[in-house]
């Protein structure tokens, strides 16, 4: 598995992270098979959140990794969402959430903890205190965020005694406003609208790894673009390039993200082992510059 530097953590991590949101679609035996297959493929970075399956995903994962040396795994989880009620980045909530996460996973520490979406009532001093407490206790090694813009991260960074190593953001060839706003600069086009404050450039400037989530989705969980009648030109182009490299369209869709010099770490959420193997193959495909642009344009994006 190809590896990349993970923010300023000093870690070299797999170029793909495995999202465990759908883990409860598997039984205990299936979850064990999923984890073992992932490790055989060199994919040992697993992404969780305390709300996935209401905590059941972490519990199942904890059982699935029984007997596997902890140092062979890179485990990331997220906290801060109280479903349907609020976001909560209070010190008390973060500390309690991590204790509960560790208990469900049956591990002593997390490699990475992310704040799950922005909290309008975030006090950066409280967050810094929580992170420092967790770091000192050996419960979390590295910290990051998800779905945050540059100013939200800058506010946190003013108080944090450690770097923000990652920002998890929605990103696919059909949802690439981070890229289009940099391409359509100074234009009166929809793609020119700055929706995130230049988060792509900010993360690159500050060595924060972007983890694209939903790399195969269009819209906000509206569906998968691969094979969709809504994207005939994109699928035609993906299939054409896939034939050239002897891989699947899925592989090429992931390779499109990996080709970007920002060194994204896509979150792959499939529980299908064959599809997982197809995604991992993307690490061995280096698209040409023209192929990258051909895919970009076929998804409905433009060149000024």
**Domain of 127, in residue numbers:** 3-231+262-273
The answer to whether residue 191 sits within a structural domain is yes
Q: What residues are annotated to the active site? A: 52
The answer to whether residue 288 sits within a structural domain is no
Beta-bridge partner residues of 226: none
Question: In this predicted model, what pLDDT tens digit does every residue of 110-148 receive, in sequence order?
Answer: 999 999 999 999 999 999 999 999 999 999 999 999 999
Question: Residue 224: CB partners within 8 Å, gap ≥ 6?
Answer: 216, 217, 218
Q: How many domains does the chain have?
A: 1
The answer to whether residue 239 sits within a structural domain is no
Structure tokens at 93: 């909530």
CA of residue 52 relative to chain centroid, distance: 14
CATH number at residue 52: 3.20.20.100
pTM value is 0.97
The answer to whether residue 268 sits within a structural domain is yes
HSE-CB at 135 with a 13 A cutoff on CA atoms is 14
Question: Residue 98: CB partners within 8 Å, gap ≥ 6?
Answer: 79, 110, 113, 134, 139, 140
Question: In this predicted model, what pLDDT tens digit does every residue of 260-275 receive, in sequence order?
Answer: 999 999 999 999 999 9
């Amino acid at each position: 598995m190809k590896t990349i530097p993970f923010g300023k953590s000093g870690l070299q991590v797999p170029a793909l992270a495995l999202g465990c949101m759908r883990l409860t679609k598997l039984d205990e035996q299936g979850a064990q098979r999923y984890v073992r297959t992932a490790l055989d493929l060199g994919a040992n970075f697993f992404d969780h959140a305390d709300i996935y399956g209401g905590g059941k995903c972490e519990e199942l994962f904890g059982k699935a990794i029984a007997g596997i040396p902890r140092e062979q795994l890179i485990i990331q989880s997220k906290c801060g969402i109280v479903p349907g009620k609020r976001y909560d980045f209070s010190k008390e909530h973060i500390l309690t959430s991590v204790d509960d996460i560790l208990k469900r996973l049956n591990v002593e520490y997390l490699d990475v903890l992310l704040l799950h979406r922005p909290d309008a009532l975030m006090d950066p001093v409280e967050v810094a205190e929580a992170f420092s407490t967790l770091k000192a206790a050996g419960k979390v090694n590295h910290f990051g965020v998800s779905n945050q813009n540059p100013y939200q991260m800058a506010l946190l960074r003013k108080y944090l005694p450690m770097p923000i190593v990652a920002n998890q953001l929605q990103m696919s060839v059909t949802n690439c406003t981070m890229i289009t706003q940099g391409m359509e600069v100074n234009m009166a086009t929809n793609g020119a609208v700055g929706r995130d404050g230049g988060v792509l450039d900010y993360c690159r400037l500050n060595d924060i790894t972007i983890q694209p989530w939903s790399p195969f989705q269009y819209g906000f969980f509206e569906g998968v673009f691969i094979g969709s009648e809504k994207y005939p030109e994109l699928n035609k182009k993906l299939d054409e390039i896939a034939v050239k490299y002897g891989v699947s369209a899925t592989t090429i869709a992931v390779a499109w993200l990996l080709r970007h010099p920002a060194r994204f770490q896509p979150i792959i959420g499939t529980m299908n082992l064959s599809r997982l193997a197809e995604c991992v193959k993307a690490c061995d495909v280096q698209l040409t510059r023209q192929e990258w642009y051909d895919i970009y344009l076929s998804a409905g994006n433009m060149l000024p």
